Amino acid sequence: MKVVLDKYEQQIEDALSKGEYTSISDLKNTKELFRQAAKNYRELKETKSITLRVKKEDLIKVKLKAKRNGLAYQTLVNLLIRQYVKGETEVVL
């Protein structure tokens, strides 16, 4: 019985036959490295509650802008932080 490989599986098979994959001398440490990387990735995707003090006037304005756009104000604040972190919005200090 001939096994039919999909495109991805065939690419792996071809790479194996060309010797593109090599054995790792320290498999235990490499596995641990990848396990830790996966854990860190999951943690980075989680959300974290914070407490933040802002001027009441600023909060009122943020809530108003959020309401006009059909958003919760916390969502708007989160979007602003996200845009700043990505470099899409600048803050003059």
Q: Residue 46 corresponds to which tokens in the numbers above?
A: 């989680």
User: Are residues 83 and 89 in contact, defined by beta-carbon separation less than 8 angstroms?
Assistant: yes
Predicted TM-score (pTM) of this structure: 0.58
Q: What is the distance between the alpha carbons of residues 5 and 16, in angstroms, rounded to a whole number?
A: 14
Nearest to 11 by CA among 22, 21, 2, 1: 21
36 and 57 within one domain: no
Looking at the structure, do residues 41 and 52 belong to the same domain, yes or no?
A: no
Q: How confident is the model at residue 93 (pLDDT cuts 50, 70, 90)?
A: confident
Q: Return the pLDDT at 92.
A: 82
The token duo for 92 is 């003059």
Q: Based on the domain organization, do 40 and 62 belong to the same domain? A: no
Q: 18-61 pLDDT, tens per residue?
A: 989 888 889 999 999 999 999 999 998 899 999 999 999 999 99
Same domain, 52 and 92: yes
The CA distance from 61 to 57, in Å, is 6
In a domain, 53, yes or no: yes
Contact present, 9 and 17 (Cβ < 8 Å): no
Residues 57 and 89 in one domain: yes
* Count of structural domains within the chain: 2
Residue 22: per-residue pLDDT? 82
pLDDT for 63 beyond 90 = yes
Q: Using 50, 70 and 90 to split pLDDT, how confident is the model at 83?
A: very high
Is 2 a member of any domain? no
pLDDT at 91: 84
Host domain of residue 84: 48-93
